[in-house]
Structure 1
Amino acid sequence: MGRSALDRGTARSFARVALDNILRRYPYKVDHMMCATGDVAEPATWHPAFCGSYDWHSSVHMHWLLVRLLALYPDLDEAAELRDALDAQLRPQHIAVELDYFHRPGSRTFERPYGWGWVLKLQAELLALAQQDPRAAAWADACAPLASHLSRQLAEFLDAADFPVRTGTHFNSAFACVMALAYARATQDTALRRAIVRRAHRWFGHDRSYPARYEPGGDEFLSGGMTEAVLMHAVMDGSAFGQWWEMFVPGAAELANWLTPVEVANRSDPKTSHLDGLNLSRAWCWRLLEPALPESLRPLAVRAWSDHIEASLPYAVAGEYVSTHWLASFAVLAMAEPVGG
Structure 2
Amino acid sequence: MDSFDSVDAETILGGRSDWIDVDLALRLAEHPLEGVETEFPHWVGAVDSPEAFDRPSDRHPVFYGCYDWHSAVHSHWCLVRLLRLFDDHPDESRIREGIDERLTAENVERELERFEDDPTFEKPYGWAWLLRLAAELYLWDDPVADEWRTTLRPLESRIVDLVESEFLTDERPFRVGTHENTAFALAGVVDYALVTGDGDLAAAAGERARAFYLEDSDYPVEYEPLGWDFLSPALAEADLMRRVLDRREFADWFDGFLPDVRAEPYDAVLDPVAVEPDSDEGVEYHLIGLNLSRAWCLAGVADALADHRDAEALERSAERHARRGVRQAFTDDYAGAHWLSSFAVYLLTRDEGGIAPAESRA
Q: TM-score, normalised by structure 1?
A: 0.93
Paired residues for 1:126-145 under 5 Å: 126-129=137-140, 131=141, 133-145=142-154
Instruction: Quickly say closer, same or farther: Cα 1:42–1:282, change in 2 above 3 A.
Output: same
Show the counterpart of 1:175: 184
Determine if the alignment matches structure 1 residue 153 to structure 2 residue 162: yes
Give the 3 Å change call, closer, same or farther, for CA 235–285 of structure 1 in structure 2: same
Q: 2:333 aligns with which of 310, 320, 328?
A: 320
* Distance in 2 separating the partners of 1:299 and 1:173: 28
Find the counterpart in structure 2 of residue 38 from structure 1: 51
1:18-167 mapped onto 2 (5 Å cutoff): 18-31=32-45, 38-104=51-117, 107-129=118-140, 131=141, 133-167=142-176
Instruction: Compute the displacement of 1:265 (Å).
Output: 4.0
Q: Distance in 1 between matches of 2:299 and 2:88?
A: 26
**Aligned 8 A contact 1:120 1:183 in 2:** yes
1:13 aligns to 2:27 (yes or no): yes
**2:342 is matched with which residue?**
329
* CA distance 1:32–1:114, change in 2 (3 Å): farther
SS of aligned partner of 1:257: helix
| Residues 1:305 and 2:318 are matched in the alignment | yes
How many angstroms does 1:162 deviate by?
1.1
Return the letter of the residue paired with 2:282: P
Take 1:33 and 1:286, find their aligned partners in 2: how far apart are those partners? 41
1:284 aligns with 2:296: yes
The offset of 1:15, in angstroms, is 1.0
Is the 2:127–2:185 contact (alpha carbons within 8 Å) kept by the matching residues of 1?
Answer: yes
> Secondary structure at the residue paired with 1:160?
coil
Letter in 1 for 2:100: D
The question of 1:214 aligning with 2:223 is answered yes
Shift of 1:52: 0.5
Q: Distance in 1 between matches of 2:233 and 2:56?
A: 31
Q: Distance in 2 between matches of 1:212 and 1:218?
A: 13
Runs of 5+ consecutive residues of structure 2 not aligned to the other structure: 1-12, 358-362
* Other-structure match for 2:16: 4
Q: 1:95 to 1:46 in 2, by over 3 A?
A: same
Cα displacement string for residues 131-161 of structure 1 (whole angstroms, at most 9, x for unaligned residues): 2x11111111111111111111111123431
Q: Which of residues 266, 269, 272 in structure 1 aligns to 2:284?
A: 272
Q: Secondary structure at the match of 2:96?
A: helix
Alignment partners' CA distance in 1, 2:47 and 2:194: 33
CA distance in 1, matches of 2:203, 2:356: 19
SS where residue 155 of structure 1 aligns?
Answer: helix
Shift of 1:250: 4.5
How far apart are residue 189 of structure 1 and its match? Answer: 2.6
What fraction of aligned residue pairs are identical, expressed as a percent? 36
1:203 and 2:212 matched: yes
Worse-superposed segment, 231-240 or 290-299: 290-299
- Quote the Cα distance in structure 2 between the aligned partners of 1:159 and 1:109: 13
What amino acid sits opposite 1:283 in the alignment?
A
Q: CA deviation at 1:32?
A: 5.4
Question: 1:305: how far off?
Answer: 1.8
Identify the residue that residue 272 of structure 2 maps to in structure 1.
261
Q: Shift of residue 94 of structure 1?
A: 1.3
- Gap change, CA 1:161 and 1:263, over 3 Å in 2: same
In the aligned structure 1, how far is the partner of 2:194 from the partner of 2:342? 21
CA distance in 2, matches of 1:217, 1:127: 36
Deviation at 1:226, TM superposition (A): 0.3
The structure whose RCO (Cα within 8 Å, separation 6+) is larger is 2
Structure 1 segments (4+ residues) deviating >6 Å: none
Q: Name the aligned partner's letter for residue 87 of structure 2.
A: P
Give the CA deviation at 1:340. 4.4
Aligned length: 336
Tell me the amino acid that sits aligned with residue 183 of structure 1. Y
